[in-house]
Structure 1
Amino acid sequence: MSTYRTYAIIGGTSGIGFALARKLVDRGDHVVVGGRSAERLEQVLGKLGARACGKTVDITDRQSLAAFFSGTSALSGLFTPAATYKTAAFSDGDLESSEGLFKAKFWGQYWAVHAALPYLTADAGVVLMSGAASARPLGAPAYAACNSAIEGLARGLAFELRPIRVNCLSPGTTDSDLWRNRPDSVREPAYQAWQSLCLVGRPASSEEQADAALFLLDNGNMTGSTLFCDGGYTFR
């Protein structure tokens, strides 16, 4: 009798999502990976091996989300780190960095969980992803508000969807593909600033964030909580 579990990761082709997918596969579980790029998805599935499958998905499109989950076997967990957005000052009055940010990061995760509901087992764990700016904003108020809203969503869903568990991972600056693909002139000052803002003096690794997400997926007594994996940034 098979003992493996199946998990879905929307945003599993890079960064924290890919690190979690690799950890799940390495321990013998199966993973359904979602990503925007078919080419990138194919490369990642080749790295993950036979225990992984995947589909392209746009987390901002409800029909795309429905198609992603269609035909999926029973899911023991869902992680939703996928989001593409930009941030800006309130005074800019920019729609993409305010309303567009919520569409990509908040509503994307909201509707992803809704689309997954028919496939989640009764003891499944859902992990949303916010960011430490929810508790300690440094400008970009729409970004801070969006992250706070996601953490509130996790609490509300934990109550309504029980016994399914819903938690939220709130990372700080992470040395992931997102930052590595940015110019040195942008990345290095951000990393240096983070060293003075947090307690451990460095950004997290994608693997450390994936460990935190895995804990939230696995621990049967964790629900309605936000886990700040931010090197003590919010503590300060």
Structure 2
Amino acid sequence: MSITTLKGSRIVIIGGSSGIGFATAEQAIEQGAHVIIAGRSKEKLMVAQEVINNNHLQTYVLDNQDTNQLQGFFKKVGNFDHLFTPGASYTLGPITATNDIAESSFIGKFWPQYYAVKYAIPFLSNSGSIVLMSGAFSQRPLKGAPAYGACNGAIESLGKALAVELAPIRVNVVSPGTIQKENEQNENRLAAYKAYKSLSLVKRPGHNDEIAHTVLYLMQNSFTTGNVLFPDGGYTYH
């Protein structure tokens, strides 16, 4: 049997206090894993700790754009089995946007994942795995966010290159479509959810739990590496 059990394993999630990272932490703990989540907001981490309410969960305050903090974080964590890196902060804009906006996707999404892997390697089990996170804009970009589309494509290429370089450690990428946030009030986000119904084959945006399920599959299937999975409701094919 080539399915890896998560029971008793140690999983690090950078960006795990909310959204997809939080849903992944919840599901992993339900399967018996010990989970370490890191994020910028101490308040969000405290809420996550209260909601999950399990002694298998540890939390750390971490700015994943600070390489010194990343190095120190992994030294504190020590040896572990799986890494997931959904934490990202960026601003979208067209080709005419300011340099700061254009560079924000790589500064806030690509490089934090790149350096997280770099500093995690000394502590990551050879039988373990890494799951990076990109986005379906890599395959089907929409108008107004060329740097963001390019960033997601770069993350997917990085995942493939790392799978070759770091074997036998497995490296994969999850590339979700639009994910619906509960109790969303932002009008732009609500409009995006509505638009996604016509852009995807399943006629709806996704949910955090669905992406988390994909992430755990990539951690558990020991014959899967160098792959990009698209839990996007058929967005890339419609």
TM-score computed with the length of structure 1 as normaliser: 0.94
Which residue is equivalent to 1:33?
Answer: 37
Which residue is equivalent to 2:92?
Answer: 87
SS state at 1:192 partner: helix
Contact 2:131–2:215, Cα closer than 8 Å, also in 1: yes
Instruction: Give the partner amino acid of 1:101.
Output: S
2:138 equivalent to 1:134: yes
Q: For residues 11-60 of structure 1, give each alpha carbon's deviation from its aligned partner in whole angstroms, at most 9, with x where no partner exists.
A: 00000000000011111110010010112112212222100001111111
Which residue is equivalent to 1:71?
Answer: 76
SS state at 1:60 partner: coil
Shift of 1:182: 5.1
1: distance between equivalents of 2:119 and 2:46?
Answer: 23
2:222 equivalent to 1:220: yes
2: distance between equivalents of 1:22 and 1:57?
Answer: 20
Identical-residue share of aligned pairs (%): 43
SS state at 1:158 partner: helix
Given the alignment, which residue of 98, 101, 109 partners 1:97?
A: 101
Q: For residues 125-161 of structure 1, give each alpha carbon's deviation from its aligned partner in whole angstroms, at most 9, with x where no partner exists.
A: 1000000000000021101100000000000000000
Shift of 1:187: 2.1
Contact 2:184–2:190, Cα closer than 8 Å, also in 1: no
Q: For residues 108-131 of structure 1, give each alpha carbon's deviation from its aligned partner in whole angstroms, at most 9, with x where no partner exists.
A: 100011111111000111000000
1: distance between equivalents of 2:25 and 2:181?
Answer: 15
* Count of aligned positions: 230
2:199 equivalent to 1:191: no
Which residue is equivalent to 2:61?
Answer: 56
Residues 98/182 of structure 1: CA separation in 2 closer, same or farther (3 Å cut):
farther
Given the alignment, which residue of 190, 211, 233 partners 1:209?
A: 211
2: distance between equivalents of 1:141 and 1:155?
Answer: 22
Stretches of 4+ moved more than 2 A in 1? none
Given the alignment, which residue of 124, 129, 141 partners 2:128?
A: 124
2: distance between equivalents of 1:182 and 1:87?
Answer: 19
Contact 2:85–2:131, Cα closer than 8 Å, also in 1: yes
Shift of 1:181: 4.8
Contact 1:176–1:205, Cα closer than 8 Å, also in 2: yes
Instruction: Give the partner amino acid of 1:228.
Output: F
Say what the alpha-carbon RMSD is for the aligned residues: 1.2
1: distance between equivalents of 2:209 and 2:50?
Answer: 19
Contact 1:8–1:77, Cα closer than 8 Å, also in 2: yes
Instruction: Give the partner amino acid of 2:196.
Output: W
2:7 equivalent to 1:15: no
Contact 1:85–1:104, Cα closer than 8 Å, also in 2: yes
Instruction: Give the partner amino acid of 2:216.
Output: L
Contact 1:167–1:224, Cα closer than 8 Å, also in 2: yes
2: distance between equivalents of 1:71 and 1:201?
Answer: 44
2: distance between equivalents of 1:198 and 1:96?
Answer: 31
2: distance between equivalents of 1:172 and 1:193?
Answer: 12
SS state at 2:116 partner: helix
2: distance between equivalents of 1:187 and 1:45?
Answer: 27
Residues 112/181 of structure 1: CA separation in 2 closer, same or farther (3 Å cut):
farther
2: distance between equivalents of 1:188 and 1:131?
Answer: 19
TM-score computed with the length of structure 2 as normaliser: 0.93
